[in-house]
């Protein structure tokens, strides 16, 4: 998997992390920073929505179950502010109905907790590093590609 950190001069994608659990936020922040992303973390949906810098983010990872606003409502409010990037929803209990609501709202990926790093990193790779057809190393090298 390609990372911004291993390739000098490559864009460091800004990724928002919103989760009310400090341990999840810190874990994701450390993981993404180590993989060359620029993570910005928020303990609540309100904090993310109040930060003007959040609008310049490339991608967002949001927890579904937060005390002030659920993840689906957060994405709707963030889109209303003009943000149009891809988003990943993480949730402890992802039933079929929630997955359908999340996809209908605009989430590109829904990942169930507890998760290991692989699903998050693979989703970010597809959504950021492979944002345009032909961006993937696999595509350029004549491989099967990653589905972009």
- Residue 104 φ/ψ, nearest 5 degrees: -65, -35
Task: Let me know how many helices (H) and strands (E) the chain has, helices first.
Answer: 6, 5
The residue among 64, 91, 113 whose CA lies nearest residue 75 is: 64
Strand partners, 60: 16, 87
- pLDDT tens-digit series, residues 4-44: 444 555 788 999 999 999 999 999 999 999 999 999 999 99
> How many other CB atoms are found less than 10 A from the CB of residue 24?
18
Question: What structural domains and CATH numbers belong to the chain?
Answer: 14-140 (3.40.50.2300)
| Mean pLDDT value across residues 64-93 | 94
The residue among 124, 57, 56 whose CA lies nearest residue 90 is: 124
- H-helix or E-strand containing 110? strand 109-112
Percent of the chain at pLDDT above 90? 61
Whole-prediction pTM? 0.80
Dist. CA 42–CA 31, nearest whole Å: 16
Q: Is the pLDDT of residue 143 over 70?
A: no
Dist. CA 112–CA 120, nearest whole Å: 10
| Mean pLDDT value across residues 54-69 | 95
- pLDDT tens-digit series, residues 89-103: 999 888 899 999 999
């Amino acid at each position: 998997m390609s990372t911004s950190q291993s390739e000098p001069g490559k864009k460091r994608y800004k990724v928002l992390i919103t989760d009310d659990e400090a341990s999840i936020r810190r874990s994701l922040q450390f993981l993404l920073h180590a993989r060359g992303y620029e993570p910005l973390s928020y303990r609540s949906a309100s904090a993310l929505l109040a930060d003007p810098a959040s609008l310049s983010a490339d991608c967002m990872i949001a927890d579904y179950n937060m005390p002030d606003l659920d993840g689906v409502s957060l994405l709707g409010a963030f889109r209303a502010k003009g943000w149009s990037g891809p988003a990943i929803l993480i949730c402890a209990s992802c039933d079929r109905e929630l997955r359908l609501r999340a996809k209908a709202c605009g989430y590109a990926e829904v990942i169930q907790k507890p998760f290991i790093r692989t699903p998050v990193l693979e989703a970010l790779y597809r959504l950021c590093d492979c944002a345009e057809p032909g961006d993937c190393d696999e595509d350029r090298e004549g491989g099967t590609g990653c589905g972009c």
